[in-house]
Amino acid sequence: MSQTETTSKRPSRFTVRVKRQDDPRSAPYFQAFELEYRPNLNVISILQMIAAKPVTTEGKQVAPVAWDCNCLEEVCGACTMVINGKVRQACSCLLDELLAPGRGASGEIVTLEPMSKFPVVRDLFVDRQRMFDNLLKIKAWVPIDGTHARGPGPRETQEAQEERYAISRCMTCGCCLEACPQFTKDNMFRGAQIMAQAMYFNRHDTGKQLKDQRLDVLMGEGGVHDCGNAQNCVKVCPKEIPLTEAIGRAGRQITVHAIKKFFNAGK
């Protein structure tokens, strides 16, 4: 659809409803803002417009909405939120797409909510430390000897590189976790992202030195066994990380690992 085609059908104003929360302990509430339509707006520019003039539809001057973002090109993972009921990156979410015809009565309204699976810091800004802690837990690194000159790393086939590259684009955004029925605010489940990351490091020639330790974590509570295979995760991942394959591979590696452990224990 070309720009001129779409603009002619556009409203001159539109309404944004934001789920707000003043701090981690207080109760959430909704506020609506009416804004002037311009072509090419994305959700970040909408939030910037609100920040510049935080006045609600009732004409009340309020504190600007807090949110998290950085790159504005869908690569840093910061700006994840729930937009019209769907978890996604705010920076790559264009208003024109939200207002697209056929969206029913709510077509002119944009609803922004924070992710529900992570503690809210304020408004749309949530705390995803749990994801980084999980990376620490599974030893998400290649154990190199040190930074001194040692020549190149292991040679790698194009196929192996492509497989790893597909996973290494994961930006820790958490969309997959928000969509996962097994992942809740208070359980231990680590989710699809971490399984894919473990497989990423296990696939590398030096990285696989720590394979058993990673599998021990994935075998334990919150690991692969807690995954219900609903595959919601893969449907929402903005980076198209091959999560289904990663979960499958993690399951297979764990089976082999468990058998090995069982026999070693008997020795």
Partner 1 sequence: MTQGKRVIVVGGGLAGLAATVRIAEAGTPVDLVSMVPVKRSHSVCAQGGINACNDVARQQGYSEWQHMDETLYGGDFLNHQPPVYEMTHWAPRIIDLLDRMGVPFNRTTEGFRDLRLFGGSLFKRTHFAGASTGQQLLYGLDEQVRRYEAEGKVTKYEFWEFLAPVMDEGVCRGIIAQDMRTMEIRSLPGAAVVMATGGCGLIYGKSTMSMICNGAAAARCYIAGAPLGNPEMIQVHPTAIPGEDKCRLMSESARGEGGRVWVPRKKGDTRDPRKIPEAERYYFLEEKYPKYGNLVPRDIATREIFWVCQEGLGIGGGNMVYLDITHLPRETKDKLAAILEIYETFTGDDPRETPMKIFPAVHYSMGGLYTVYTPEERPPVPGDPLPGVVGLKHGAPDNMMTPLKGLYAFGELNYQYHGATRLGANALLSCIFDGLFCGLSVHNYALEQPASSNSTAAFQQAAEKEKQKAQKLIDNQGEHNPYELHQRLGLEMTAAATVVKEESRMQQARESVRQMKQQYKSIKLADAGGWTNQNLMFARALGDMLPYAEAILAASIARKESRGSHYRSDYTQRVDDPFHKTTVVSYDSAADEPKIDWEDIPLPMVPLRARTYGKVEG
| Least separation in angstroms between CB 66 and ligand SF4 | 21
Binding to ligand FES by CB under 6 A, coded x per residue (else -) over 74-103, reads xxxxxx---------x-x------------
Q: Which residues in 65-103 are b (16+ Cβ under 10 Å) and which e?
A: bbbbbeebebbbbbbbbbbbeebbbbbbbebbebbeeee
Q: Which one of residues 3, 26, 57, 70 is an interface residue with ligand FES (CB under 6 A)?
A: 70
Stretch that binds partner 1, among 27-35, 162-170, 174-182, 243-251 (CB under 8 A): 162-170
From residue 247, how far is each of 13, 117, 157, 224, 256 by CA, in Å?
A: 45, 20, 23, 7, 15
Please, how many CA atoms are within 13 Å of residue 95, restricted to the half-sphere of its CB? 26
Nearest Cα residue to 250 out of 186, 190, 206, 174: 190
**Quick check: 216 binds partner 1 (CB under 8 A)?**
no
**Quick check: 38 binds partner 1 (CB under 8 A)?**
yes
**Quick check: 245 binds partner 1 (CB under 8 A)?**
no
Q: Which one of residues 85, 101, 102, 151 is an interface residue with partner 1 (CB under 8 A)?
A: 151
Cβ distance 73 to 91 under 8 Å? yes
**Quick check: 121 binds partner 1 (CB under 8 A)?**
yes
Positions in the binding site for ligand SF4 (CB under 6 A)? 170-176, 180, 182, 191-193, 196, 227-233, 237, 239, 241, 243, 247
